[in-house]
Amino acid sequence: MQIGNNPIDTLPKSIGLLENLEYLDLSLTKIDTLPKEIENLYSLKTIKLNENSQLNFELAFESLSKIDIRSVDLSDDSLKELPKNLLKIKYLEELKIRNNAYLVFKDVFKQISKSFKYLKLLDISDNPITNLTKEFQSLKNLKILYINNTPYLDFVKKDFAPISNLQKLEILSIKNNKLRILPESLGKLINLKKLEISNNYLLTMPASIGNLKNLISINISNNKINTLPFEISRLKNLKNLDLSNNKLKTFVHGIGGLEKLEKLDLSENHIKSLTKEIGKLKNLRVLDLSGNKIKSLPVEIQKLKKLKDLYLYNNSLSHSQKKRIKKLLPYTNLHML
């Protein structure tokens, strides 16, 4: 049920009659208390209470803790501490507490690790977190972790260690963090499927990235990447690679090993030419080379039989080269000026 983004200040007691309700969005309202009858929502699994700083959260979770809730969103709520009654929800699987600058995260991590043994998703983005405590690594069932826009964390020296011990992690997002280096311990996350590290200051990736055999998608856009380790060629399950807006001058060495790659974005770099390795990407469907310094493409590009879209805007292609590309790729949608 969607009630969020609504100026209502009271939730009727009759809400308790909706015994089959599974989803309740109460974000951005003016509600200050929840009726006790809400504890009759036996089927409720997800509740969104974000942007409700006037709500009495302790009283709200006195009722909500009696339900088998699995997902709670308390983002943008000006929390000073986690509600004690929230910590009673034993089987909580998802917790979002973005942008709660008054929280003392040293205490928060202790509380979360002690109370939420079954937590699978945690979003602590947009907070002034200074370090991840050792308790953080006890979240052994965590599969999805968002720590975006937390520039005070030092992921190289100490703060990545607790993350690297989360062996079940499948999605890691640490974008907008001013990162310059990622540690080799990244390679311990062997079950990782999606890695989001855009909008940082990275110059390269650790060689251990080759250990992440289950990776399907990597977004390294908007960094300062000028080279990548050859070990990236070991990512045999990778389908999406975004390297746009970086400092690459040459085509990615070893990229021909990415046999399942479907989308490759190399736009807005300084690449002058492609190597014949491009012809090995048999499953490639989208290739974006816009905003480079490419003058021609190798003949091997005609081997990309599944290529649907090729973007070549803002390169150095002559008229004759454009005609040649059209002949090499007669069934591909070519986007070039």
In the chain, the percentage of residues whose pLDDT exceeds 70 is 97
Question: Is residue 121 helix, strand or coil?
Answer: strand
User: What size, in residues, is the chain?
Assistant: 337
At residue 253 the predicted structure's pLDDT band, cuts being 50, 70 and 90, is confident
Q: Is the pTM of this model over 0.85?
A: yes
Does residue 65 surpass a pLDDT of 60?
Answer: yes
What pLDDT is stored for residue 208 in this prediction?
96
Q: Is 41 exposed, middle or buried (0-12, 13-18, 19+ CB in 10 A)?
A: buried
172 or 137, greater pLDDT = 172
For residues 269-285, give the mean pLDDT: 96
Average pLDDT over residues 305-329: 96
Average pLDDT, the chain: 93
Which residues, in sequence order, are CB contacts of 299 under 8 Å at separation 6+?
328
Q: Say which residue, 53 or 7, is predicted with more confidence.
A: 53
- Percentage of the chain exceeding pLDDT 90: 83
The pLDDT, as a whole number, for residue 233 is 94
Average of per-residue pLDDT across 200-214: 95
- pLDDT at position 232: 94
pLDDT tens-place string over residues 116-127: 999 999 999 999
Mean pLDDT across the stretch 83-107? 95
- 179 pLDDT higher than 60: yes
The most distant pair of C-alpha atoms in the chain lies apart, rounded to whole Å, by 74
Confidence tier at 10 by pLDDT (50, 70, 90):
confident
Residue 2: pLDDT band by 50, 70, 90 thresholds?
low
| Total Cβ atoms within 10 A of residue 7 | 8
Q: Specify whether the CB–CB gap between 261 and 243 falls below 8 A.
A: no
pLDDT band at 154 (very low <50, low <70, confident <90, very high): confident
CA separation for the pair 308, 313 (Å, rounded): 16
Q: What is the pLDDT of residue 133?
A: 86
Q: Rounded to 5 degrees, what are φ and ψ at 218?
A: -130, 130
Q: Is the pLDDT of residue 307 over 90?
A: yes
User: Which residue type does 140 have?
Assistant: K
Q: Which residues does 132 contact at the CB level (< 8 Å), separation at least 6?
A: 109, 153, 158, 159, 161, 162, 163
DSSP-assigned letters across all residues of 218-255: EE--SS------GGGGG-TT--EEE--SS---SPPTTG
* Mean pLDDT for the stretch of residues 296-322: 96
Residue 6 pLDDT exceeds 70: no
Q: Which whole number is the average pLDDT over 75-99?
A: 96
- Tell me the average pLDDT across 320-333: 96
- Please tell me what DSSP assigns to residue 177: S
Residue 157 has pLDDT above 70, yes or no: no
- Whole-number pLDDT of residue 21: 93
